[in-house]
Structure 1
Amino acid sequence: MNKSKNFNLFLMDGDVTGRIKCTLSNWTGLAYKVPRSYLDKCKNRQDLKQSGVYFLFGKNDDNEDEVYIGQAEIRENGEGVLFRVMENLKDSSYFSDAIMLTTQNNSFGPTEISYLENRFTNLAKDIDRFKVRNSNDPNPGNVTEEKESELEDFVEYSKMVLGVLGYKIFVPLIKSVQRLN
């Protein structure tokens, strides 16, 4: 994959500390970075009523970076990923920012979001840069080889987007080596 991509960042509130929408050239994905206190301002966004995967970023009691990775289907009430993130407001006070990933063409079904939640969770645990709050191992779903290849492309683009938005969750830490004299 060509790593040189055109990022489109839209400062929804005219400020880098507010809501940010991110797209990439040749990517059907959409990413939203939304501070916890701005979640309510997104209620009318139709693309956040779709299925998607989300990341809740914050600090734990030891002031370490922490993340919870989840997924949300479209519900009978027509709500999707944003509604699921807002449900976490009741249960968790630790997160300060949410990043929600969905698509421009509403193409994620239950299998796709299960696969992505599993993949992102396991990648984050393997990299070990953030403490992963997920207590269970998400179901990987049952995808065909073709669908897996498509979803892996989505994962690669998402990793770039998360980094651009300031979360290097999938970038390994470089361990310093002490020299012996």
Structure 2
Amino acid sequence: MIDLKTVTMQLIDGEADGIRICRIEGESLVTVVVPREKLAQAKALPDLPHRGVYYLLDEDHGVLSRVYAGQTTQGLARLEAHKAKKEFWNLAVMFLDNENNIDRDVLDALEAKAIDFVRTHGSYETDNAASPNPRISPYKEQSVERLHESVLWRMQVLGYDLDRLEVGPSSVETFHTKKNGIRANGRYSKETGHFTVLAGSIIALDKPIIKNNGALKAREDLFGGTIGRATLTDDITFRSSSTAAAFVLGGSQNGWIEWVNDRGETLDEVYRTHKEER
């Protein structure tokens, strides 16, 4: 017997990359995908539940550079505060239901699972500093597990796989960037997720860094108020490839796409996109 799930997706204004509402036959949980710039329009949509968990994503064609998980009892209105205070995200994915199906205890436990998962899985940075540990009745644990599994499955179906880990060749392979005439070299560690920019790399100090405190601090520590271009004299390691790319190039960078090997493959293509083929 074939096990089937029927997913219904509604595209607001018919836009494939706009607001999307997804439902699964036989389940009450509603998934709402909201591009940051469409938040005001999304908030005006009627008859959407208000309780559940959500993810804020720094996303580029399915590649996740940064993820934040949280809970809401206000539905889409919760995103207003994040729009004002968190600059990194360009997409929100919310999983909503009513309080009869997600009570306070279940909501707290579901959020804790979501936060713990993004802190321990995937090849992305997270804004969640710690995993909460709420008390949950043993009679509700199965419900929380089932909801979390459904959330992860739906994220995967949408193309935002939160469990996408690095696999690939040895971390000694060298990657480089030549953007805007800047030549820098680096190496990625699949064990730690860290990226090391190698000595001799050219750093574009004339372009300011946007929204990346780690890259900004490293520049200030090494180069102070120097402007123009500089040559890195010692290797420097960053927690992510995106921070390393921002350090080298300035602006706001997606390191998974910016760093390329000698075969012309991006870091994402080597370590994540083709993992099923390896």
Same fold by TM-score, threshold 0.5 exceeded? yes
Equivalent positions of 1:30-109 (< 5 A) are: 30-48=30-48, 50-58=50-58, 65-73=65-73, 80-103=74-97, 107-109=101-103
Shift of 1:174: 5.0
Show the counterpart of 1:11.
Answer: 11
Instruction: After superposition, give the CA deviation of every residue in 1:127-175 in whole Å (9 maximum; x if it has no partner).
Output: 132211112322x432222311012111111111111222111x34252
SS across alignment from 2:14: coil
Residue 154 in 1 paired to residue 153 in 2? Answer: no
Shift of 1:10: 1.0
Distance (whole Å) between structure 1 residues aligned to residue 90 and residue 143 of structure 2: 31
Distance (whole Å) between structure 1 residues aligned to residue 57 and residue 79 of structure 2: 12
Higher Rg of the two aligned structures: 2
Instruction: After superposition, give the CA deviation of every residue in 1:78-103 in whole Å (9 maximum; x if it has no partner).
Output: xx031211111111111000011111
- Distance change (3 Å), C-alpha of 1:105 and 1:64: closer
- Distance change (3 Å), C-alpha of 1:27 and 1:129: farther
Distance (whole Å) between structure 2 residues aligned to residue 64 and residue 50 of structure 1: 26
Q: TM-score, normalised by structure 2?
A: 0.54
Instruction: After superposition, give the CA deviation of every residue in 1:5-44 in whole Å (9 maximum; x if it has no partner).
Output: 1111111220111001111122221110110011101223
Distance (whole Å) between structure 1 residues aligned to residue 20 and residue 64 of structure 2: 24
Distance (whole Å) between structure 2 residues aligned to residue 46 and residue 10 of structure 1: 14
- Distance change (3 Å), C-alpha of 1:105 and 1:25: farther
Aligned-CA RMSD value: 2.3
Show the counterpart of 2:214.
Answer: none
The code of the aligned residue for 2:29 comes to G
Percent identical residues: 23
Gaps in structure 2 of 5+ consecutive residues:
171-278
Residue 129 in 1 paired to residue 123 in 2? Answer: yes
The code of the aligned residue for 1:114 comes to D
Distance (whole Å) between structure 2 residues aligned to residue 87 and residue 15 of structure 1: 25
Which protein has greater RCO, CA pairs closer than 8 Å, 6+ apart? 1
Q: Stretches of 4+ moved more than 4 A in 1?
A: 46-49
Residue 175 in 1 paired to residue 167 in 2? Answer: yes
The code of the aligned residue for 1:166 comes to G
- Distance change (3 Å), C-alpha of 1:26 and 1:105: farther
The code of the aligned residue for 1:39 comes to L
The code of the aligned residue for 1:51 comes to R
Q: TM-score, normalised by structure 1?
A: 0.81
Contact 1:65 1:130 in 2 (8 A): yes
- Distance change (3 Å), C-alpha of 1:116 and 1:3: farther
